[in-house]
Amino acid sequence: MASSRKRPIRVLVAKPGLDGHDRGAKVVAAALRDAGMEVIYTGLHQTPEMIAQAAIQEDVDVVGLSVLSGAHLTLFPRVKKLLDTAGRSDVLVTGGGIIPAEDMATLEQQGIGRLFGPGTPTADLIKYIEEWAAQHVAA
């Protein structure tokens, strides 16, 4: 799907909070880039405010958060709210990490996109973003 687009899907990959483990986020960023997406990786220890501001400045289509700290029920909704408040409710907020299934369901009810756990093939994430973008992002 990405190859038929006039412009690449723009994805911001971020590590919110104090979690210092970013190997998974870097693997995801590389896989998305290899799939033809334009990827901005913000690095470790980002606040929700920093992430939302970067997403707005970079005019991204998708924000992918990697959360391993257990703060997912706070961080995902905060980033979404900041984007919505800034008039960017069109941005998909998705991601993954160590998130129990019941918390994934709670976040989905709050408008967060599909979330992915450890061991998920990167092809699944790529397919999800490409299918979402085909319906929500002007080519």
CATH of domain 9-134: 3.40.50.280
> What pTM does this model have?
0.94
Contact between 122 and 31 (Cβ < 8 Å): yes
**What is the rounded average pLDDT of the residues 32-39?**
98
Instruction: Output phi, psi for 71, to 5 deg.
Output: -95, 20
* b (16+ CB within 10 A) / e for 10-26: bbbbbbbbebeebebbe
pLDDT exceeds cutoff 60 at 74: yes
Q: Where does the pLDDT of residue 2 fall: very low under 50, low under 70, confident under 90, or very high at 90 and above? A: very low
H or E segment to which residue 132 belongs: helix 122-136
Going from the C-alpha of 137 to that of each of 72, 75, 93, 104, the distances in angstroms are: 26, 24, 14, 24
User: Domain coordinates of the chain in residue numbers?
Assistant: 9-134
pLDDT, position 109: 97
Are the beta carbons of 118 and 100 closer than 8 angstroms? no
> Where residue 52 falls among pLDDT bands split at 50, 70, 90?
very high
